[in-house]
């Protein structure tokens, strides 16, 4: 499968695969104690073994997690440095599926959100209740609520995501582990769709992709861990938004009304999943004007917009991360801005996003050390997220100056 890649690239891909394999094993040391995903004795023994090592030994947990995340980032850097073969959709897909395969079998150790997705769907189908009005605590007798967090609040997502969540639940026939696995499969599908749409957008915007441009999003450890391992739904908000923009760009100076209608529906679905993509609407209208009235974009402001709309959109999607609701900010929210990274031309913005990707994964360290959330822990997490990129950016800057 990897014949077309050089020996260095194969070694780097294997190194990253093994790093994610170690991380996946580590995640089972943080499994919810009352959750046995597979009832087989060998797996139960394995979970108990991992609990004994990590669950109550918080200092060891922090050290191992820090070491694994650092190892994964090092392996990712080596992979992007050594990928010299032709960049195309097939090659990038092969590498992506190879390196994320261990994460498919990992546990969502850093977030319990997927359990909320699952139970909200169950509330609709099984209990015939509205999860936007009822709460999980109303069904505390249900065994599935044992694994949930935020059981006292209604679903925080839009109705679009609730409807989408019915698909994996119905396909699993009310089997918890099967539902959990289908959500993971959907996460992998979302990554594949992101890859396809990124290639399509790059072609339409005449941006030449490189392994480095593409890799810092599609192989970004933050994206892979949060989307595949933690099964967050954020790409299912961003993919319809990206597809919506692609449809506007699809037929230059000859926009078809069916594409326009589909674009509106996709953007509407994205907003109905999470309201954050509402900030993209000015970009959508700007690109629409460029297609319908190109003469209006021939001034300097219009040219500036058309040249830099991916960077502008990325910045706009970053702004909601600064709000109190996002706690400045939950790590997986960074994916909203990251998906535009391969199309961005501003090197400072790209470097900042990559640095924040690293620090955001380390944001979990204060929680791991204390095994609890509190106002003090949240403040410590913000320090990790925002202060750590400063020495990283200085290191990158000095490295470039030394090379020159």
Task: Quick: pLDDT tens for 262-289.
Answer: 999 999 999 999 999 999 999 999 999 9
**Arithmetic mean of pLDDT, 139-150:** 88
pLDDT in tens, 210-263: 999 999 999 999 999 999 999 999 999 999 999 999 999 876 666 788 889 999
Measured distance CA(223)–CA(234) in Å, rounded? 10
**Arithmetic mean of pLDDT, 16-21:** 97
Residue 255's closest CA among 296, 303, 290, 299?
290
Query: Cβ distance 121 to 162 under 8 Å?
Result: yes
| Percent of the chain scoring above 90 in pLDDT | 70
- Angstrom distances, CA of residue 170 to CA of 39, 106, 151, 179, 234: 22, 23, 22, 8, 21
- Angle of helix 347-362 relative to helix 389-403, nearest 10 degrees, comes to 130
Exposed/middle/buried for 198, CB within 10 Å: 0-12, 13-18, 19+? buried
Question: What's residue 395's pLDDT?
Answer: 65
Question: What's residue 404's pLDDT?
Answer: 41
Instruction: Map out the domains of the chain as residue ranges.
Output: 1-107
């Amino acid at each position: 499968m990897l014949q077309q890649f050089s020996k260095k690239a194969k070694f780097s891909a294997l190194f990253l695969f093994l790093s994610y394999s170690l991380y996946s094993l580590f995640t089972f040391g943080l499994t919810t104690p009352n959750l046995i995903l597979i009832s087989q004795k060998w797996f139960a023994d394995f979970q108990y073994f991992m609990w004994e090592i990590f669950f109550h030994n918080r200092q060891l947990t922090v050290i191992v997690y820090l070491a694994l995340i650092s190892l994964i980032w090092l392996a990712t850097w080596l992979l992007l440095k050594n990928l010299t073969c032709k960049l195309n959709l097939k090659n990038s897909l092969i590498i992506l599926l190879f390196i994320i395969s261990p994460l498919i079998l990992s546990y969502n150790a850093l977030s319990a959100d997927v359990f909320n997705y699952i139970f909200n769907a169950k509330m609709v189908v099984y209990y015939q209740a509205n999860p936007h009005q009822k709460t999980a605590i109303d069904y505390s007798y249900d065994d599935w609520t044992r694994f949930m967090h935020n059981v006292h609040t209604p679903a925080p997502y839009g109705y679009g995501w609730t409807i989408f969540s019915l698909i994996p639940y119905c396909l699993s026939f009310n089997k918890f582990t099967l539902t959990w696995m289908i959500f993971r499969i959907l996460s992998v599908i979302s990554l594949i769709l992101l890859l396809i749409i990124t290639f399509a957008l790059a072609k339409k915007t005449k941006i030449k992709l490189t392994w480095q441009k593409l890799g810092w999003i599609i192989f970004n450890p933050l994206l892979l861990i949060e989307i595949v391992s933690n099964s967050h739904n954020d790409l299912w908000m961003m993919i319809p938004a990206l597809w919506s923009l692609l449809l506007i760009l699809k037929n230059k100076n000859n926009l078809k009304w069916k594409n326009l209608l589909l674009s509106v529906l996709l953007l509407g679905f994205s907003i109905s999943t999470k309201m954050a993509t509402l900030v993209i609407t000015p970009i959508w209208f700007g690109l629409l004007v460029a297609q319908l009235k190109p003469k209006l974009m021939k001034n300097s402001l219009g040219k500036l917009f058309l040249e830099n709309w991916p960077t502008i959109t990325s910045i706009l999607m970053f702004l909601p991360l600064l709000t109190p609701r996002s706690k400045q900010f939950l790590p997986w929210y960074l994916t909203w801005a990251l998906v535009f990274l391969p199309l961005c031309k501003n090197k400072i913005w790209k470097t900042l996003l990559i640095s924040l990707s690293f620090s955001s994964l380390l944001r979990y360290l204060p929680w791991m050390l204390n095994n609890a959330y509190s106002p003090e822990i949240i403040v410590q997490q913000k320090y990790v997220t925002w202060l750590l990129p400063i020495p990283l950016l200085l290191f990158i800057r000095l490295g470039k100056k030394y090379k020159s």
